A = this chain, B = another copy of it.
């Protein structure tokens, strides 16, 4: 019987027509039967502020933390704003990191990113890798999914229509499952 995997996935862009959310949804469709990718929304995470969570963590954040903790791996799909991740994604990470549940501890993480530009969110992804260190997450080295000229790779309904990108994402999902095995064998 085939081993089952449960991945949690977050898009760092809130806008409706986000290419990064399209990438996440493409990954959901491309995942083989034994791998489920659940999208977690960070729209409801408030601005991180110690005063806010001093007494109690917001329910919306704790629910996300529970899902992250239960996942076999986490996929972060980040846009590149100002050569880094979106403030929205960084804020969610800040909130996750303060939970006593430590949801990212020893968690295998895979990064993807899409941009209409030429550099495929490369600058954002290395800043994001650094942010994962204090959470004690381990980010898969490769494949690195950096999708340039994203507007040419999706149709008007947001469906992925580029063959190479399709193969990259399929390979990414399979690699992340294998990577998560390393950390589960402990």
Contacts and interface: CB of A to CB of B under 8 A. Distances in A.
Interface of A: 14-16, 47-51, 81-94, 97, 118-120, 122-123, 126-127, 129-131, 133-138, 141-142, 146, 148, 181-183, 185-186
* Identical subunits present: 4
Nearest to A181: B186
9 contacts: A14-B51, A48-B86, A82-B94, A82-B97, A84-B84, A85-B90, A87-B90, A118-B120, A133-B142
A59 B110 CA distance: 37
A146 B16 CA distance: 31
Contacts of A93: 82, 87
Contacts of A130: 83-84, 123, 126-127, 129
Given A49-B15, A138-B138, A183-B182, A83 B133 contact: yes
A167 B129 CA distance: 28
A49 B182 CA distance: 36
B83 A92 contact: no
Contact of A50 (B15, B119, B122, B148): B15
Contacts of A142: 133, 136
Contacts of A126: 83, 123, 126, 130
